Amino acid sequence: MKISKLCLHSFIHSLGVFIYVGLVTLVMGNAESIFGEMDNYFGPMLFLMLLVLSATIVGLLVFLKPVIMYLDGQKKDALKLLLSTVGWLLGFTILLVVVLIALSA
């Protein structure tokens, strides 16, 4: 696979993670207004189920394509895709830190 195609795939996967995390954050930030106050067993259970679901979705977005490529014998491309996806995630994280610093100033 060409480097530019790997870079595009990794960007799209990272953007998917970024958007998904944003949506989960939106739901969690408004959970009390959406679900009401939860002083029972189901609140923590819902939180943990959301955590498991999120880990699964993010794991698929980050690791599924590289694992498939690796198993198909494209070991170098799989590693490049994985590392560039992690690089994009790092870039998005740094961007968020910069935005938070700018908003707090």
What is the distance between the alpha carbons of residues 94 and 3, in angstroms, rounded to a whole number? 23
Tell me the pLDDT band of 47, cut-offs 50, 70 and 90. confident
Tell me the pLDDT band of 42, cut-offs 50, 70 and 90. confident
- pTM for this entry: 0.82
Give the chain's mean pLDDT: 91
Tell me the pLDDT band of 74, cut-offs 50, 70 and 90. very high
For 65-90, what is the HEC assignment?
A: HHHHHHHCCCHHHHHHHHHHHHHHHH
Q: If DSSP codes are grouped into helix, strand and coil, which group holds residue 38?
A: coil
pLDDT of residue 34: 78
Domain ranges, ordered by start, for the chain: 3-104
Structure tokens at 39: 């002083």
pLDDT of residue 14: 95
